[in-house]
Amino acid sequence: MRHFRALLAVTLLAALFYGVFIARTAFSIESELRFTLIDDAMISMRYARNLADGYGLVWNPGGEAVEGYTNPLWTVFMAGVHLLPIPERLVSLPVMILGALLLLAITLMSFQLAGIWGAVLLACYFPLVFWTLRGMETGPVVFLLLLSVVAANEQKHPFLLGILGALAYLTRVDSLLPWTAILLFSVRQTEPGGRTKPLYAAVLLVLVTVLVHTVWRLWFYSDWLPNTYYLKVGGVGIAERILCGTKGAWKTTQVELVLGCVIAIWGYVERRSLPHPF
């Protein structure tokens, strides 16, 4: 009961914070209230508006088809938002509201997986809050990956892990990396002699999703990779990419993730010290 009250307090405070955050993004032009998202999210919104208007996932209607986004499923969701009967000056608001709801769901799942301190950490983790409420696909990806962790941990519906992996890939293509780590955890969790065929089916589902999306990309955009790949790492050697990525990951861990890493290692050691249930 004490933990439930703590979770309720954390959830209510987080909801209040998210509401204030969204409200402070509003501004007025000629006495009309308006909302907007961060620049990268507005790029996806432009593609979404063109899709909703029947031009397809293009930057300029009638122009060359260029893939300037890396979040196809989130962009399609944004296209659905553009179909709502609301003025365009408010169309960013439903995206932020959904982001807030996803953050609250992430908080609840964190409590299920890591207790009250896990819920507090994710509810208050400002990079996650900021990018999600400013319209990026960060929140949806974390939501799907946490659901994948729950599915892998409970071992009740292994095929669900494949569905979540396919959705996470379509939401953000590089989410395949953390999803693969979750899959390996699920394999390790399988009891000796247990059924692994559903896990094979889950992997097959994700691979088919990647294949179908790649074939569609080649057909529609006539390219293997999105334009953002060429803009950011085109002409950069693999060694330099690995070095820059390693430095960035280490800096992020030192500045933002050190407490989470300490708690994760502590939880792992505590779990290893418990008697095995079998």
Q: pLDDT tens for residues 9-32?
A: 889 999 999 999 999 999 998 888
Q: Which residues form the domain of 146?
A: 138-222
Domain-embedded: residue 202: yes
The pLDDT of residue 194 is above 60: no
Cα gap 196→190, rounded to integer Å: 7
99 and 216 housed in the same domain: no
Greatest mean pLDDT range, 56-60, 120-124, 197-201: 56-60
Instruction: Give the phi and the psi of residue 28 in degrees, each rounded to 5.
Output: -125, 135
113 and 11 housed in the same domain: yes
Quick one: which of 90, 96, 86, 91 has its CA closest to 49?
A: 91
The contacts of residue 84 (CB under 8 Å, 6+ apart) are 91, 94
3-class DSSP state of 114: helix
Q: Using 50, 70 and 90 to split pLDDT, how confident is the model at 278? A: very low
5 and 126 housed in the same domain: yes
Start-to-end CA distance of the chain, whole Å, equals: 29
Q: Residue 85 gets which letter from DSSP? A: S
92-118: pLDDT as tens digits: 999 999 999 999 999 999 888 878 888
143 and 124 housed in the same domain: no
The pLDDT of residue 254 is above 80: no
Domain-embedded: residue 227: no
Mean per-residue pLDDT, 166-171: 96
Mean per-residue pLDDT, 74-92: 94
Q: Per the structure, how many domains does the chain have?
A: 3
125 and 158 housed in the same domain: no
